[in-house]
Amino acid sequence: MDAGTDAGGQDAAADASVDGGLNPPTCTIVAPADGARQPFSTLPPNPSPTEWTFVANATDIEDGPLSGPSVQWVSDLIGPLGNGLSLTVALDPPYTHQITCIATDSDAMTGSDAITVEAFSPFATILHPGDGETRADCPVDIPWTGVALDFEDGNITSSLVWVSDNAADGQIGTGGNFQACLNGLGLNTVTATATDSNSNTATDAVTLTIIP
């Protein structure tokens, strides 16, 4: 008798879990990867906030696949970002965001997933010469071009300091556009470092092969 009661209770619980809406939905973020990073802005001459595309899968045992208003995206720095399985948005302000996808079923039950992404600031980019190029040594000058941006300060290209890892050269220039030759033969890695008003730095580097 007790066994029959227990079996009936288990059956009732199973029916309730399926038919009573006791199963929360799931929401799984499939892109971007957790820890993804990219500059907060695109490059000049037309800089604009860099866009991120967030993609998720959401489903519920009772309701099936969820989409549209049933799937919400939230940033811990900005708040609600929008709805849907796919969302393209700029993160303004930038820096490190915890992005949460929240799925809600017809019974108002929720399931979520979260990742961390970084829209970093400041950032520096060497535009010329290209990484891996072969160049002649001094006195043949190499044109050097770069750009650096910061969310608060704007264009900080003038703060760039360019340094070669070869002891024959050391610091080779400053700013975003100049010409300088390299004395050190063989592989030379030149790093451009930008510094914003809060002493935050950003770097980019190229490695050149210098030949006589």
Residue 7's H or E segment, with its range, is: helix 2-19
User: Hey, which residues does 26 pair with through a beta bridge?
Assistant: 59
Residues 191 and 125 sit within 8 Å (Cβ to Cβ): no
Q: Rounded to whole angstroms, what are the CA distances from 142 to 100, 129, 166, 194?
A: 47, 8, 16, 20
Q: How far apart are CA 180 and CA 143, in angstroms?
A: 7
At which of 67, 97, 120 does a domain end?
120
49-99: pLDDT as tens digits: 999 999 999 999 999 999 999 999 999 999 999 999 999 999 999 999 999
Over residues 102-115, mean pLDDT: 96
Burial (Cβ within 10 Å: 0-12, 13-18, ≥19) of residue 164 = buried
Are residues 137 and 115 part of one domain?
no
Read off the pTM: 0.81
Are residues 35 and 79 part of one domain?
yes
Could you tell me which residues come within 8 angstroms of residue 102 by beta carbon, excluding any fewer than 6 positions away? 27, 71, 72, 73, 74, 110, 111, 112
User: Hey, which residues does 89 pair with through a beta bridge?
Assistant: 52
Are residues 98 and 136 part of one domain?
no
162-171: pLDDT as tens digits: 999 999 999 9
Is 1 a domain residue?
no
pLDDT at 84: 97
29 has pLDDT over 50: yes
Is 102 a domain residue?
yes
Tokens of 99: 């992005």
pLDDT at 80: 98
Domain that holds residue 130: 123-211
Are residues 161 and 74 part of one domain?
no
